[in-house]
Copies of this chain bind each other. A is one copy, B any other.
Amino acid sequence: MDATILAIIASVIALITAILLVVHVMKEKPGTTTMQEISDFIKEGAMAYLNRQFKTVAIFAIVIFLILGLALPKGAYNNSYMIATGFLVGAVFSALAGYIGMGMSVRANVRTANAAKRSLKEALSVAFLGGSVTGLSVVALSLLGVSGFYYLFTKVFDIPVDTAPSLLIGFGFGASLISLFARVGGGIFTKAADVGADLVGKVEKNIPEDDPRNPAVIADNVGDNVGDCAGMGADLFETYAVTLIAAMILAASTLVTQTGAKSVEYPLLLGTIAVIASIIGIFFVRLGKKENIMGAMYKGMLATGLISAVGFYFATDYMLGDINIFFASLVGLGVTFFINIITEYYTSTKYNPVKKIAKASETGAGTNVITGLAVGLQSTLAPVILVCCAIAAAYYFGETSTLQNGIYGIAIAAVAMLSTTGLVIATDSYGPITDNAGGIAEMAELPEAVRKNTDALDAVGNTTKAVTKGYAICSAALAALVLFQAYGEELMKNAVGTTFEFGIENHMVLIGLFLGGVLPFLFSSFCMEAVGKAAHKVVEEVRRQFREIPGIMERKNKPQYDTCVDIVTKAALKEMIMPGAIAVLAPIAVGFILGPEALGGLLVGVIVAGLLLAIQMSNGGGAWDNAKKYIETGHFGGKGSDAHKAAVVGDTVGDPFKDTAGPALNALIKVINTIALIIAPTIATIHLFN
C-alpha cells in the first residue's frame, strides 16, 4: 500500500486511541466538591488564557495568510494559495492539539489527585494516560496534516512529486508560528505567575507552595497548563511536522530523478511506524515493584525505540533497499538515547553538577548563581559533540548509500528522532497534571499521604521536562540544518544558472552569521525581561490583596484569584508580540535588504547560537531547580536554612531560563528557517535581476 495512505490511517488510529484514553481517564471520579471547585478555577483560567492567546495570534495569522496568498509568486500550481492554505491549517491543527491536550490536562489533574488517595500506581496511571492523550493527538494531527496535504497535492491536484513537498512548507510555517507564540506566551505566563507567587508567598509571608491563601496560587497552577502542556505540545507538534517536511523537501529537490517518489515518501513511512510504536509504547509504562517512576517512563520509551528500530529496518528494506539509510535512522535513535543520559547527568540530583550548585549555596545566592551559570555553560559541550557526531555519522551513511546524499542521511536521522515524540510528550505533559494534582491536594486539604504520592510523581516531572527540551532542541538543530540545505536548493531552482555559495570567507555570509547569532540573545533577553516585569506586577497585586483584604492569612477571607490570572494573561499576551515580530521580520529584512548569502549566514548563525543558548538555559535551569530540591531533602542544612534561601534565588533565575527563553529558541530557529524557505524563490528572482 501507498506510504501516504498508511500515514493517514495510522494518524486516524492514533486519534481513536486518544479518544479511548480520554474516556478511560474520565471514568476516574473527580473527587470532592472542593477539589472540583479548585479544578474548575484552574480550568477556567487556562481556557480563558488559551482563547485569548489564539485570538491575538489569529490577527497575526490572518495578516500572514493574506500576505502569503497575495504576495508570493503564484507559480505553476497556484503555489501561493497552497502555501497560504497550508499555513492556516498548520496553525489551526497546532491550536487544536493545544486545546485537546490542555482540555485533558485540566481534567486529569483533579482525577489524579483523587486516584492518589488510593495508590501511587493508580495515580501514575491516570496522570500518564492523561499525558498520553496530548502525546497521541499532537503526533497524530501532525502526521495527518503532512500526509493529508501531501496526498492532496500529489493525488488530487496532480502536482509532481519534485514540487509538492516544497508547498508543505506553509503547513510547517503555520505550526512554527503557533509554537513560537505558545512557547513565548505560555512561558511568560507560567513563570511570571510562579516567580510572583513564590516571591511573596514563600519569601515574604512564609507560607508553603500551593497554599490557598496565596492570591497567585491559581495563576501558578493555570501556568503549568498553558506553559508546560499547551506550549510544549505546540512546540513538539511543530518539531514533528517541520522535520518530516524538511526531509521530504530535500528529497524532492535532490533525489526524485534517482528514486522517484520513494525517497520523498519514505519519511512518511517512518512517521507511520513511529506513531504505531508510540501507541504500543504507552502500554509499557507500568510501575514495577520497586515503584521507580522514572524507570516506568524509560520502559515505555525504550519499547517505542526498539519497535521503531525494527520497523525502520523493514521499511527501509522495502522502500529504498539500502542498509546504510537504515543506519542513518539508527543515528537518530542514538541521539535520542544519549541526549537523555546527558540531560539527566546535568539536571538530576544524583550527579555532581546539581550537587555542586547545592554546595555553592552554602556561601550564599551569589555563589549559587555563579555555579549554576557555570554548569549551564558547561553542559553545552556534550550535546554539541553529540550533534556533531550525529551529523558526521548520518552524513557518512547517506553519502555511502546508493543515494549518495549525505544531507538526506542527516534528514533521516532527524526523522528517526521523532519516533519517540509521542512518548516524550506524554512523559512531559504528565508533569503539569501531577503538579496540579499536588496543588489541588494541598488546597483541598487532602490527607498528607495523597500529597506524598503526588509529590513523588511530580519530582520525576522535573527530569522529564528537562529531557524533553534537550530532545527538542537537538532534533530542531538537525531539522533546521536540513531546512538550510533546502533553502540553498530552492534558491538555485529559482535562479537557474546561478550558484549560491555560503562561504564564510564571503563577508555577506559573515554578516549574516553575526546577525543570526545575535537573534537568540536578543530574543531570550525579551523573554527574560517580560517574566521579570510581569512577576513584578504579580508581586504588587499579591501584596495589595494581603494589605487590603483583611483575614486572608487567617483563612477568614478568600483572596481574589482571578485578578492575578488576569494580570499574567494580559502581560503574557502583550509581551509575546515583540519577540514574535522579531522572529518573523528578521529573516525577511535580511533576505530582501542584504540578499540570499546573508540570509544563508543568518540561518546557520541562529541554529548554532540558538542550540548553544537553549541547552545552556534548559540544563542550567533544571540544575538550579533540582539543587533546591536536593537541599530540601535535608542536605546542606535542609529546608529553611540559609543555603536553601540561596537556592531559591537560583531557582527563580533558572525559571525563565528553562521554561520561557530556552524552549522558545527551538521555535525561533524553525520559524526563521521556514520563512527563509518560503521567501527563497522571491529572493532568488530579485537576485537574478540585479
List the interface of chain A (C-beta within 8 A of B). Answer: 195, 199, 203, 360, 363-367, 369-371, 373-378, 380-381, 384-385, 387-388, 391-392, 395, 406-407, 410, 481, 484-485, 488, 501-505, 507, 509-511, 513-515, 517-518, 521-522, 524-526, 528-529, 531-532, 535-536, 539, 600-601, 604-605, 608-609, 611-612, 616, 648-649, 652-653, 656
Contact = CB atoms under 8 A, between A and B. Distances in A.
B525 A388 contact: no
Contacts of A388: 511, 514-515
B366 A195 contact: yes
B406 A532 contact: no
Contact of A360 (B410, B503, B507, B536): B536
Nearest to A611: B514
Contact of A373 (B199, B410, B528): B528
A612 B609 contact: yes
Most chain B Cβ neighbours within 10 Å, of A484, A509, A532, A653: A532
A648 to B, nearest CB: 8
Nearest to A379: B525
Contacts of A391: 507, 510-511, 514
A521 B612 contact: yes
Contacts of A605: 608
A133 to B, nearest CB: 34
A583 to B, nearest CB: 14
Given A360-B536, A377-B522, A504-B601, 19 more contacts: A199-B367, A363-B536, A365-B365, A366-B653, A367-B535, A370-B528, A373-B528, A373-B653, A374-B524, A374-B525, A374-B526, A384-B518, A391-B507, A395-B507, A484-B504, A485-B505, A503-B503, A513-B604, A609-B609
A505 B517 contact: no
Contacts of A509: 504
A500 to B, nearest CB: 9
Contacts of A518: 380-381, 384-385, 612
Nearest to A407: B507
Nearest to A389: B511
A656 B377 CA distance: 14
Contacts of A364: 199, 203, 649, 652
14 contacts: A364-B652, A367-B536, A369-B653, A370-B656, A373-B528, A374-B524, A377-B522, A377-B528, A381-B522, A481-B510, A502-B504, A503-B503, A504-B504, A504-B604
Nearest to A511: B388
Contacts of A532: 360, 367, 370-371, 374
Contacts of A616: 521
A514 B384 contact: yes
A481 to B, nearest CB: 7
Nearest to A605: B608
Interface-centre pick from A387, A507, A604, A605 (highest chain B CB count, 10 A)? A507
Contacts of A488: 505
Nearest to A517: B608
**Copy number of this protein in the oligomer?**
2
A511 B607 CA distance: 12
A406 B511 CA distance: 14
Contacts of A612: 517-518, 521, 609
B517 A367 contact: no
A194 to B, nearest CB: 11
B513 A608 contact: yes
Contacts of A199: 363-364, 366-367
A363 B507 CA distance: 45
Contacts of A504: 484, 502-504, 509, 513, 600-601, 604
Contact of A525 (B377, B385, B481): B377
Contacts of A526: 374, 378
Given A485-B505, A649-B649, A363 B528 contact: no
A511 B528 CA distance: 30
A76 to B, nearest CB: 26
Contacts of A374: 524-526, 528-529, 532
A511 B384 CA distance: 9
A535 B368 CA distance: 12
Contacts of A505: 484-485, 488, 501-502, 600
B507 A410 contact: yes
Given A370-B528, A388-B514, A521 B377 contact: yes
A649 B535 contact: no
A529 B656 contact: no
Task: Sort A-B residue pairs by CB-CB distance and give the 7 closest, nearest first.
Answer: A366-B652, A377-B525, A378-B525, A374-B528, A374-B529, A384-B518, A374-B525
Nearest to A477: B514
Pick from A370, A378, A392, A521 the residue with the most CB of B within 10 Å. A370
Contacts of A370: 528-529, 531-532, 652-653, 656
A656 B536 CA distance: 27
A322 B514 CA distance: 30
A611 B131 CA distance: 42
Given A367-B652, A532-B374, A380 B522 contact: yes
Nearest to A600: B504
Contacts of A373: 525, 528, 653
Nearest to A395: B507
Contacts of A484: 504-505
B521 A195 contact: no
A390 B363 CA distance: 45
Contacts of A609: 517, 608-609, 612
Contacts of A503: 501-504
Max chain B C-beta neighbours (<10 A), residue from A199, A377, A648? A377
A515 B366 contact: no
Contacts of A528: 370-371, 373-374, 377
A385 to B, nearest CB: 8
Nearest to A394: B507
Contacts of A524: 374, 377
Nearest to A507: B395
A71 to B, nearest CB: 27
